[in-house]
Structure 1
Amino acid sequence: MSKVKYIRVSTEEQNTARQEVNAKEFSTIYIDKTSGSVQFTERKEAKKLLADIESGIVTEIHISSIDRLGRNIIDILTVVEFLTQKSIKLFVENIGMYSLIDNKPNPSFKMIVSVLGNVAEMERLNMLERQRQGIELAKAKGTYTGRLFGSKMSDAEVLIKYKSVVKELKNGESLRRASKIGGCSLGTAQKIQRLLNPAVI
């Protein structure tokens, strides 16, 4: 029986160090590098965690904040309810609260998590809307280049960072294979292909 921690960051490039500061307190740490919009049950490490719960080797789970479980309030509450049914204590570090107290649901926890879950969902929707508006504005100005949202890397830096993707594409491999080998999204592989073949539209 063990206390574990679940960590999620949105991209491969993001650092997990902040969420791992108390790593020594846990028997196992599960780290997913995927968007919060991906359902918890569809994530690679989350699946391992769920399997360990079913095996009875996990009794307590810590997360840094509730949006590590998801950006959709329904998904978040579904995970919390599942853990409650399995008598798994969930501790959310940034609010310092447990989902269970003396093996009974903590009513304050559920109320606060519902509020924070709604905030996380609204933040994601607002981010997507700002992104859409930014792209539309750039297109209207004729300055849109298809740069990845949130990316600050120059074209040269992208090519250096994803050398394996460049190699695969130069060898004539498919975009899907190149993205898989290089550990990047299909969109990033497409961007690299455009950089390698600027004349191709």
Structure 2
Amino acid sequence: MARIGYARCSSLDQSLDIQIERLKVEGCQPIRSEKVSGASREGRTELAAILDFIREGDELVVVRADRLGRDTRDVLNIVHELDQRGAYLTVLDPHVSTRGESGRIVLTVLGMVSQMERRFILERQREGIQAAKAKGLYKGGTRRVDREKVMAMKAEGYGPAAIAKALGCSRMQVYRIIDSEAQKQNI
């Protein structure tokens, strides 16, 4: 029976060190980590690998429920997948385990709170942007990747992986820029 740790943060400039250290202290081996949004399961290859290979009696350990997912349904779907394999989930803060029914109830409530918290953050962000726009202060976010360079490299025959490597960004950003430019030309 293995204790498998999973650490996740949403952006490349955030650190996973605290989560990983906490999982090590808890005796997790192996520990899988990734820097990707928790808004959906898309692109979360490390989590997918864990769910593919977890065995009966194994335990998936995360520091907080929102590291597993921001959507209640997604967290509960992961718990269901673990159940199907005879595995368990343990959340360290607050300490909750799916080994018992009361843990499942608490986990459902935690998932709902995480989802509600995410909605509040987005709402406050929208309100702040609207207030800044009304004052003429909002100029939008700064672009991190030079769109023109992406399109020029694509025109030269470079693939998304090569473009991403050359510009120091993710392939997903390159795909988004290419898709966005293609949509502009179709309009």
> Which whole-Å CA distance do the structure 2 matches of 1:58 and 1:183 have between them?
39
Q: TM-score, normalised by structure 1?
A: 0.70
Deviation at 1:58, TM superposition (A): 7.5
Query: CA offsets, 1:104-134, max 9 Å, x none?
Result: xx11101111111111001111111111111
> Which whole-Å CA distance do the structure 2 matches of 1:70 and 1:171 have between them?
33
Question: Quick one: percent identity of the two aligned structures?
Answer: 33
Deviation at 1:68, TM superposition (A): 1.3
Distance 1:60 1:98, change over 3 A: same
Alignment RMSD (CA, Å): 2.9
Distance 1:138 1:48, change over 3 A: same
- The secondary structure found in structure 1 opposite 2:8 is strand
Query: Which residue number corresponds to residue 30 of structure 1?
Result: 32
> Which whole-Å CA distance do the structure 2 matches of 1:69 and 1:22 have between them?
15
Is 2:13 the counterpart of 1:13? yes
Q: What amino acid does structure 2 have at the position aligned with 1:120?
A: S
> Which whole-Å CA distance do the structure 2 matches of 1:64 and 1:123 have between them?
17
> Which whole-Å CA distance do the structure 2 matches of 1:51 and 1:86 have between them?
10
- The secondary structure found in structure 1 opposite 2:14 is coil
> Which whole-Å CA distance do the structure 1 matches of 2:80 and 2:32 have between them?
20
Q: 2:126 aligns with which of 114, 124, 132?
A: 132
Aligned residues: 165
Deviation at 1:93, TM superposition (A): 0.7
> Which whole-Å CA distance do the structure 2 matches of 1:127 and 1:179 have between them?
33
Q: Is the 8 A contact 1:2 1:57 kept in 2?
A: no
- The secondary structure found in structure 2 opposite 1:172 is helix
Q: TM-score, normalised by structure 2?
A: 0.75
> Which whole-Å CA distance do the structure 2 matches of 1:57 and 1:87 have between them?
4
Query: Which residue number corresponds to residue 145 of structure 1?
Result: 139
Distance 1:58 1:42, change over 3 A: farther
Q: Is the 8 A contact 2:4 2:59 kept in 1?
A: yes
Query: CA offsets, 1:148-197, max 9 Å, x none?
Result: 6xxxxxxxxx9xxx7xx56x9299325x948733235639x97xxxxxxx
Q: Is the 8 A contact 2:51 2:81 kept in 1?
A: no
Q: Is the 8 A contact 1:52 1:58 kept in 2?
A: no
- The secondary structure found in structure 2 opposite 1:31 is strand
Query: Which residue number corresponds to residue 164 of structure 2?
Result: 180
Query: Which residue number corresponds to residue 184 of structure 2?
Result: none
**What are the ranges of 5 or more consecutive residues in structure 2 without an aligned counterpart?**
178-187
> Which whole-Å CA distance do the structure 2 matches of 1:171 and 1:122 have between them?
38
Q: Is the 8 A contact 1:58 1:88 kept in 2?
A: yes
- The secondary structure found in structure 2 opposite 1:180 is helix
- The secondary structure found in structure 1 opposite 2:125 is helix
